[in-house]
Amino acid sequence: MTDRGRQAVKRRRVFLISSALIIGIILGTISFGVSRLFTPKSDNNEKKETKSSSVSKTVKKIKKDESKSEETSSKQVTTPKTNGNKLNEKYSNLMLVNAKNPLPDNYDSEIRKDLVEIEPELRNNNYVTKIHKSVYPYITAMVRAAQADGVDLKVWSPFRSYADQKALFDKQVERYGGDEDKAATIVARPGTSEHNSGICADFNMADDAFEQTEMFKWLCEHAEEYGFILRYPKDKQDKTGVIYESWHWRFVGIEAAKKINKSGLCLEEYLKKNNIKQEVSVDNF
């Protein structure tokens, strides 16, 4: 090998060694950087999470304590809470739903988006819990007012879906050996029950014994102030097509409820006498 050849080999070795060193330094730097980038940060996150969860626990505790004190104070205040929804004396809904005036086919699917959950402390049923949003401020204000008066009024059965109504009806049809007309005297056909409309409710219990309770007495005195009427009164079965139900109350509107009660008429009679015809439709809200 010539001198030039040896020098070339030497240069190549120097080049290779320095290249290896540079690559080593670069790799070392990257791995250090990567480890710094992830390891300590994840620790911080954990610490932050622990800290924030303890903060949220404290907030929850404070909120819980606040709601406790709210509960205590609400018992002393007799003014009904309306959740910021002011009750409108003039608002009314005189839609007549009965065996002759069934709800339209699209009603059940259309109304679902407008249903609101009634708070657990205002009801004694966990299966059916919703009411139409237009009635929500009135029914909740009414139940709160009764409770503030020391009366244990609770919503038992508000909105009932078409499917639930059908299941109830089919059960009666089966009981009467396929006789639908007979079944319809016990349970309304699907789409003809006011419960399918979302603007009425049964209170506490669907039982004749309700008439003897302080809840019934309170409703008779105050329900009209919140827009509700006793929908199926005594001695009106031939007009309503439904037996006397002390537990079933229908929202019509505050002004309308006062007028209907003053007239002594049931809803069917009142609408007929005053020539009021409101289409059975989702457009009524």
Binding status of residue 160 toward Zn ion by CB under 5 A: no
Q: Which is nearer to Zn ion, 80 or 266 (CB)?
A: 266
Interface pick for Zn ion out of 202, 218, 246, 280 (rule CB under 5 A): 202
In 77-204, which ranges are continuous DSSP H helix? 107-111, 136-148, 162-175, 180-184
Q: Which is nearer to Zn ion, 144 or 248 (CB)?
A: 248
Residue sitting closest to Zn ion (CB): 248
Where are any strands of DSSP class E within 44-171? 115-117, 130-132, 155-157
Ranges within 248-267 binding Zn ion (CB under 5 A):
248
Q: Which is nearer to Zn ion, 202 or 224 (CB)?
A: 202
Q: Which of 141, 227, 205, 226 is nearest to 216 (CA)?
A: 205
**Secondary structure of 207-266 in HEC code, one letter for each residue:** CHHHHHCHHHHHHHHHHHHHCEEECCCCCCHHHHCCCCCCCEEEECCHHHHHHHHHHCCC
Q: Which part of the chain contacts Zn ion (CB under 5 A), choosing from 105-113, 173-181, 241-249, 270-278?
A: 241-249
Q: Which part of the chain contacts Zn ion (CB under 5 A), choosing from 65-73, 96-104, 105-113, 195-203?
A: 195-203
Q: How far is the CB of 169 from Zn ion (least distance, A)?
A: 14
Q: How far is the CB of 215 from Zn ion (least distance, A)?
A: 15
Q: How far is the CB of 195 from Zn ion (least distance, A)?
A: 6
In order of 92, 122, 133, 194, 258, the CA distances from 158 in angstroms are 18, 12, 12, 9, 22
Q: Which part of the chain contacts Zn ion (CB under 5 A), choosing from 85-93, 119-127, 172-180, 198-206?
A: 198-206
Q: Of 194, 224, 245, 268, which one is the catalytic site residue?
A: 245
* Whether 245 is catalytic: yes
Please state, in angstroms and rounded to a whole number, the distance separating the CA atoms of residues 173 and 168: 9
Residues belonging to the active site: 245
Contact residues: Zn ion, CB under 5 A: 202, 248
